[in-house]
Amino acid sequence: MPYNIDELDLKDNSPREQERTRIIFEDLKEKALNREELTEHEKDFFCKGIRLSNRNDGKIEDYECCSNFRFKITYLAYFQDLSGEGSYHKFKGTSLYRPSKKEIDNDINYLKKAASNWKDVIEKTNHSDELLKQISKETRDELKNLNDQTDTLLFKKQKQKYKLDKRAILLQSKYIYCMALQIFEMFDSDDFVLSLNGESIEITEYSIIHILNRHYSKITKPFSDKSFHIEDFEPKLLNKQLKEIFNIIDESEVYNDEPINKIAFRYKKVDYLIYVNQRTKQISGRGNVIYNRLETFFPVEKQEEKNDLSQNYILERINEDLSVYLTNK
């Protein structure tokens, strides 16, 4: 039986806590050596333990289950400059250091290979896993958009930038997929269902992938014109935070009889928009079922969106942090 996420959290550095987590580590190590299936949180716990271990536990490269962990820590060290020519910092244990030129070259080559392998994955159009299906389509669309913007590459510098932009899209896509795997491990299915005006709105794999890929990590998408989230909404807790906000709005009853296909609210002085559409899914024993899917969620930054809210809506205050836009009937 998988460990609860809370069990994988090191509470303090006391000898008792060290002993407790070491027992979990040894159990996961045995499972890893036997190639048994581990959750993404168990993998991270185990792989972090290897990197911090003072015993002869090997390296993360020795364990197949550490492939996602190795990718994530390497990507995070280089994502701001994938050329290999920048100034980089990495962690060894709990200490920060500057990697050598040889280490940088090895890491960049590793990321190049990771991007190439991931490209093979996302080019498949028949994934049975819903997360892989959604991240693959999203990434193919983004690569197509990049290609549409760079029809003619005449100069070496242009070609090099195109390669780096393409690699950045592929690597961020893989990182988002790894993040999404953990998000869906963290919560029960009910935690991905919002309620408003007596209707349910589902946050699906599509919702999470779309929002993470298009409206987070602005620094890795210099060529995008999308609106990006800031610190008020943490990616891994997005569904939980939205559920709490929707509960407050619903309980206030100020939004009664308002449409749910477009929901605008102000949270901590920032305006946000949510779009919802009706979709169809197949449920065993029931056939095709119509449901409400959260399509996207982003902060309002474009002037036309700001104008629309100011001209066609009334802002109704609910509490100090939260207000909701009502249609100006």
Q: What is the pLDDT of residues 169-180, one digit of tens each?
A: 999 999 999 999
Mean pLDDT lowest among 87-96, 224-233, 280-289: 224-233
* Burial class, 277, CB count within 10 angstroms (exposed 0-12 / middle 13-18 / buried 19+): exposed
Instruction: Count Cβ atoms below 10 Å from residue 285 Cβ, excluding itself.
Output: 4
- Cα–Cα dist 56/74, whole Å: 23
Q: Does residue 235 carry a pLDDT above 90? A: no
Question: Residues 6 or more apart from 81 whose CB is under 8 A from it?
Answer: 88
Tell me if 111 sits within 8 A of 78, measured CB to CB. yes
- Closest C-alpha among 204, 221, 230, 202 to residue 298: 230
- Cα–Cα dist 206/134, whole Å: 6
Tell me if 177 sits within 8 A of 71, measured CB to CB. no
Instruction: Count Cβ atoms below 10 Å from residue 117 Cβ, excluding itself.
Output: 12
Tell me if 265 sits within 8 A of 325, measured CB to CB. yes
Q: Does residue 227 carry a pLDDT above 60? A: no
- For residue 86, give the amino acid letter: G
Q: Does residue 148 carry a pLDDT above 90? A: no
Q: Does residue 132 carry a pLDDT above 70? A: yes
- Cα–Cα dist 163/43, whole Å: 31
Half-sphere exposure of 152 (CA within 13 A, CB side): 1
291 phi/psi in degrees, rounded to 5: -145, 165
**pLDDT tens, residue by residue, 259-318:** 999 999 999 999 999 999 999 988 887 888 999 999 999 999 999 999 999 999 999 999
Q: Does residue 229 carry a pLDDT above 70? A: no
Tell me if 29 sits within 8 A of 21, measured CB to CB. no
Q: Does residue 254 carry a pLDDT above 70? A: yes
DSSP conformation letters of 219-278 = GG-TT-------TTS-GGGHHHHHHHHHHHHHHH-TTTT--SSEEEEEETTEEEEEEEEE
Question: Pairing between strand 199-202 and 287-299?
Answer: parallel
Averaged pLDDT for residues 49-62: 92
Q: How confident is the model at residue 242 (pLDDT cuts 50, 70, 90)?
A: very high
- Cα–Cα dist 17/328, whole Å: 57
Share of the chain above pLDDT 90, in %: 78
pLDDT at 154: 60
- Closest C-alpha among 164, 181, 180, 7 to residue 86: 164
Strands (E), 83-211: 90-92, 95-97, 193-196, 199-202
Mean pLDDT of the chain: 91
Averaged pLDDT for residues 183-207: 96
CA dihedral sign, ordered 25, 28, 34, 40: negative
